[in-house]
């Protein structure tokens, strides 16, 4: 019985020693990181600018400017198209075909006559900034698409006016 007690005590000490060894080894293994956290960290510590010198620097600056211009163009609606018909077909037709919210229908000379009399500049301003008329008609700013540029909105309004003349 005495030997069995010593054997049990020895095995208990060995088990505790193995647990401590396993914990020590496990605690030195790097933990898995979320990839999103790593990306945020890289973005946070990225350099703000760069120094370019000579022809190599000039080429790098031009490439960076071209990339920025392409990125900006991709943020403009309809690829930056300034064709009024294209923009009308993609956005404006949804209200101006059915007369939604009091929108004058495309080509309806009666509905457009009083608006055209106010002047194209006023119509463009209302289309860009949005407008709610006294009769309850409503035009959302930029037709509800804030990615449109003022030039795109202006060309579309002018195209629509031409259809009503």
* N-terminal to C-terminal alpha carbon distance within the chain: 113
**Chain mean position to CA 111:** 36
Residues 130-156 pLDDT 10s: 888 887 788 888 888 888 888 888 999
Read off the pLDDT of each residue in 33-43 and give the average, rounded to a whole number.
Answer: 85
Both tokens assigned to 93: 């037709």
Predicted confidence band at 74 (pLDDT cuts at 50, 70, 90)? low
Distance CA 12, CA 18 (A): 10
Determine the Cα–Cα distance for residues 121 and 152; give it in Å rounded to an integer.
14
Question: Bigger pLDDT: 163 or 8?
Answer: 8
Reading the block at residue 102, the tokens are: 């009091």
Predicted TM-score of the model (pTM): 0.55
Max Cα-Cα span within the chain: 113
- Residues 45-67 have a mean pLDDT of 78
Q: Identify the pLDDT of residue 8.
A: 95
pLDDT digits (tens, 9 = 90+) for 82-123: 788 888 888 888 888 888 888 888 888 888 888 888 888 988
Residue 52 pLDDT: 67
C-alpha separations of 68 from 54, 72, 73, 80 in Å? 21, 6, 9, 15
């Amino acid at each position: 019985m005495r030997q069995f007690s010593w054997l049990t005590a020895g095995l208990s000490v060995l088990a505790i020693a193995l647990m401590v060894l396993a914990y020590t080894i496990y605690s030195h293994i790097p933990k898995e990181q979320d990839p999103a956290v790593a990306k945020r960290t890289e973005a946070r510590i990225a350099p703000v600018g760069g120094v370019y010198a000579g022809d190599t620097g000039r080429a790098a600056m031009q490439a960076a400017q071209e990339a920025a211009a392409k990125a900006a163009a991709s943020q403009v609606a309809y690829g930056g198209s300034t064709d009024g018909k294209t923009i009308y077909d993609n956005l404006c037709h949804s209200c101006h075909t059915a007369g939604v919210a009091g929108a004058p229908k495309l080509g309806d000379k009666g509905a457009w006559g009083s608006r055209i009399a106010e002047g194209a500049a006023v119509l463009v301003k209302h289309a860009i900034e949005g407008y709610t008329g006294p009769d309850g008609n409503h035009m959302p700013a930029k037709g509800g698409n804030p990615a449109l540029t003022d030039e795109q909105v202006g060309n579309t309004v002018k195209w629509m006016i031409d259809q009503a003349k």
